[in-house]
């Protein structure tokens, strides 16, 4: 989109009924720097679409443009918004500008349900359902990342216990969750990357020298 320059002279005239007072424009709930990497799947509620006023009353041409805008918004910045510019919207849809203005001037048009929102200093267009889809995708990503992080920590601590067991540590050491987490933190700081047998040994030597094992039988008899 770098080669496209906004042309505000192509916007709908001020008499258009959908324009709102800029002071009342709501802030868009997603930051501009939010990225949905690999966002190739978009949740789509087909029942809501099939029962919507847009689907039931608009022409097929309007419906096609509306659906394309729904999906094109997933690749915009901020994600889930559209530029408030007719020239760019026509280019995004790859249709003639005159045709786009004809479609938009209809009572039920491709921007049915879209309204102005504030994205920092820029005014763009947002749709409640599209915004809902974006927020759902972000929430799912955060849950997935948290789950992956928890699994990674679990596997790392499991391997640490196995390594300490091979080094001859007692059950008291292996069963001390606080000590294991402390050793893990030391390894993260001093032995980044793949943990070797030598790295585990260094961590154990540090723990012994620093008194972490003073109240525990550190080696099995």
Count CB atoms within 10 A of the CB of residue 114. Answer: 22
Q: CA torsion, points 18, 20, 22, 28, in degrees to nearest 10?
A: -60
Instruction: For the chain, list the strands marked E by DSSP.
Output: 81-83, 115-119, 122-126
Count CB atoms within 10 A of the CB of residue 81. Answer: 25
Angstrom distance (rounded) from CA 99 to CA 52: 24
Angstrom distance (rounded) from CA 69 to CA 41: 15
Angstrom distance (rounded) from CA 64 to CA 165: 63
Angstrom distance (rounded) from CA 123 to CA 36: 21
User: The pTM is what?
Assistant: 0.58
Q: What is the pLDDT along the chain (221 residues), one digit of tens a residue?
A: 333 333 433 443 333 434 455 568 999 999 888 877 666 677 788 888 899 999 999 999 999 999 999 999 999 999 999 999 999 999 999 999 999 999 999 999 999 999 999 998 899 999 999 999 999 888 888 777 777 788 888 889 999 999 999 999 999 999 999 999 999 999 988 888 778 888 999 999 999 898 898 655 555 54
Q: 62, 103 in Cβ contact below 8 A? A: yes
């Amino acid at each position: 989109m770098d080669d496209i320059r906004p042309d505000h002279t192509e916007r709908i005239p001020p008499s258009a009924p959908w324009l709102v007072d800029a002071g009342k424009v709501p802030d868009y709930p997603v930051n501009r720097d939010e990225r949905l990497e690999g966002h190739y799947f978009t949740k789509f509620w087909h029942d809501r679409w099939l029962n919507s006023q847009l689907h039931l009353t608009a022409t097929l041409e309007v419906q096609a443009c509306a659906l394309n805008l729904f999906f094109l918004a997933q690749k915009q910045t901020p994600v889930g918004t559209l530029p408030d510019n007719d020239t760019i919207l026509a280019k995004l849809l790859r249709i003639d500008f005159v045709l786009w203005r004809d479609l938009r001037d209809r009572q039920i048009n491709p921007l049915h349900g879209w309204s102005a929102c504030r994205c920092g200093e820029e005014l763009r267009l947002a749709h409640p359902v599209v915004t809902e889809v974006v927020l759902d995708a972000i929430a799912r990503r955060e849950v997935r990342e948290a789950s992956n992080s928890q699994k990674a920590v679990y596997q790392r601590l499991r391997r640490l216990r196995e390594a300490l067991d091979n080094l001859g540590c007692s059950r008291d050491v292996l069963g001390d969750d606080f000590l294991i987490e402390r050793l893990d933190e030391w390894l993260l700081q001093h032995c980044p990357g793949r943990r070797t047998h030598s790295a585990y040994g260094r961590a154990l030597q540090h723990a012994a020298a620093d008194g972490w094992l003073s109240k525990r039988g550190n080696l099995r008899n």
